[in-house]
Structure 1
Amino acid sequence: MPIDPAQLPELQTAPEQLVARMGIELITLTHDEVVGRLPVEGNRQPYGLLHGGASAVLAETLGSTLSALHALPDRFPVGLELACTHHRSATTGHVTGTARPIHIGRSTSTTEIVVRDDENRRVCTAKLTCLHRDTRPLVP
């Protein structure tokens, strides 16, 4: 049975985590959709554009959160593959990502994440596949 979004551990908001360092804010947490946003400022590459890696971090954050909502507490999702297509650049404001499930199974899940700019233009399309493990990875 999937967990209630209110039960999701707050691991992502700890100050040492990448989510906090990049300024990612989770907006919507449901079993059908996870939405979050990322500021462009502070996440640019040297030419002033949103770094493609920042879009990838947002996509993996949202996709793995969606997987966690379906897999926890019995199984623990870890990213297996992430593919990103960057359609356009963003230079200011925020980008907002929306993750929706493509497949939710016992051992894997696949999610499509669409990242849009403040003008609702598609910046990036990503697909994340997670493996649902029986045990949590060891963290030092």
Structure 2
Amino acid sequence: MSEQRPTAPTPESMTDGTWMIALGELDLKMGIKIVEESVQKVVATMPVEGNRQSFGLLHGGASLAVGEAVGSWAAVKHASTMGKSAVGVDVSATHHKGAREGTITITATPISLGRRMTSHQVVLQNEAGERLCTMRITNLVIDIRK
């Protein structure tokens, strides 16, 4: 299995002026797959299997980890249009419903896209389209370190 490493936005990692998502080690272990990526929407999927807690439900920490990843990717997509990157500074989540099996879909959409800060809503849904979790993530837009 070839491993994708996260990278800061560079001309080589960009198409159409935006950074292309690169999965990190945790993303690969969690089975995350990118479905769609743009400044206006990032969509990914993740299996429940392998991400359950001891009671057989999707782990809340797994929900937060995948939601933070997808929300941060969306922020970096925006920041890369300015030649910058982004880092998370705040995340909050409300869990609405549990899941025991299947694949969840994670969708990040912008609330506010600024020059210094972004906010995104991230929604996790099961295969029936039921909302499992709603998150809000705030990212700081930063200069890229060389």
TM-score range, shorter chain: 0.7 to 0.9
Aligned to 2:38: 30
Alignment CA distance shift 1:7-1:76 (3 Å): closer
> Where in structure 1 are there 5+ consecutive unaligned residues?
none
Instruction: Tell me how far 1:88 sits from its aligned partner.
Output: 0.5
Q: Does 1:66 align with 2:74?
A: yes
Q: Does 1:128 align with 2:128?
A: no
Quote the Cα distance in structure 2 between the aligned partners of 1:90 and 1:51.
9
Q: For each residue in 1:77-100, what CA deviation from the matched residue of structure 2 results, as whole angstroms up to 9, or x when unmatched?
A: 011001010000000001101110
CA RMSD of aligned residues (A): 1.9
Checking the alignment, whether the CA contact within 8 Å between 1:107 and 1:131 is kept in structure 2 is yes
Aligned to 2:111: 102
Quote the Cα distance in structure 1 between the aligned partners of 2:22 and 2:72.
13
Q: Does 1:89 align with 2:98?
A: yes
Letter matched to residue 37 of structure 1: T
- Number of equivalent positions: 132
What stretches of structure 1 move > 2 A for 4+ residues in a row? 3-11
Quote the Cα distance in structure 1 between the aligned partners of 2:122 and 2:65.
11
Quote the Cα distance in structure 2 between the aligned partners of 1:25 and 1:5.
21
Q: Secondary structure at the match of 1:54?
A: helix
Letter matched to residue 22 of structure 2: L
> Where in structure 2 are there 5+ consecutive unaligned residues?
1-13
Checking the alignment, whether the CA contact within 8 Å between 2:36 and 2:43 is kept in structure 1 is yes
Q: Percent identity?
A: 36
Q: TM-score, normalised by structure 1?
A: 0.87
Aligned to 2:58: 50
| Mapping 1:72-83, distance limit 5 Å | 72=80, 74-83=83-92
Quote the Cα distance in structure 2 between the aligned partners of 1:50 and 1:5.
36
Quote the Cα distance in structure 2 between the aligned partners of 1:129 and 1:5.
24
Letter matched to residue 64 of structure 2: A
Q: TM-score, normalised by structure 2?
A: 0.83
